[in-house]
Homo-oligomer: A and B are copies of this chain.
Amino acid sequence: MKVVQPSCPSCLIKALSFFSELDTFDLLNLNNNKICNFYKKGHIVFYEGRIPTGIYCLEQGLVKIYRVGIDGKEQIVRFSTPGSLLGIRSLLSEERYTASAATLEDSVICFINKSFFFHLINKYPKMNVEIVSYLCRKLKEAEDKIISIAQKPVRERLAESLLILNRIYKPNGKSVSKPKILLSREDLANILGTATETVSRLLHELKDENLISIEGRSITLTDIEGLKHTAKIFE
């Protein structure tokens, strides 16, 4: 796969969020300052404990943010999808990364160094507003996850996570076909905070109930409403 150097002025990330305020001059500036890399599936973007030297911008692909517990067991705390910034939390609070990031698919990720990013924030105070709203959203999601893990049985959490993953894997609304969730049982287990064997068994159950279909490693949701029901999500 070729590494395509994306150009900032035409980058979807600009439109999506944090950089929407930038004028042409600074967009070009950003373009020159960023370093863009191709990451193969399964590669690590940054490690827990390291000191951030800048910020990563996911241009294409999918990334998991996770921490490793004492016994070496991973816990996935969130995902990053194209258009979001990676490592912003640690950079902003000027502390070491408290989590690691690794690609779940082949990905293209840009790097913007700390001083340039802070320069932009100072020049465009409105970026802080975007950042605040981003953090609020993440905080809410984290709290949702606390409730979920603390109160729901694994089966419900699995259904819930599949519904969330379905949105993450949904190709930008273009394709008519249903999204395929492509994750190892281990990653799935590390989202739910359970064992891989339990994931296997429960996926089998959901399949038997015609809520999902499984082809090899890929999962397709066939009955969204049914899954919402087993996840006990009522909106």
Contacts and interface: CB of A to CB of B under 8 A. Distances in A.
Contacts of A142: 139, 142-143, 146
Interface string A141-161: 011011101111000000000
Contacts of A132: 92, 128, 131-132, 135
A146 B193 CA distance: 9
A89 B146 contact: no
A149 B147 CA distance: 10
A99 interface: yes
Interface in A63-112: 67, 69-71, 73, 75, 77, 89, 92-93, 98-99
Contacts of A99: 143
Contact of A136 (B93, B128, B146, B147): B93
A204 interface: no
A69 B156 CA distance: 13
A146 B77 contact: yes
Interface residues of A, number: 36
Contact of A77 (B73, B137, B147): B147
B140 A93 contact: yes
B150 A75 contact: yes
18 contacts: A69-B151, A75-B151, A77-B143, A89-B139, A92-B132, A92-B133, A93-B133, A93-B140, A125-B125, A125-B128, A128-B128, A131-B132, A132-B132, A142-B143, A146-B193, A149-B149, A150-B192, A150-B193
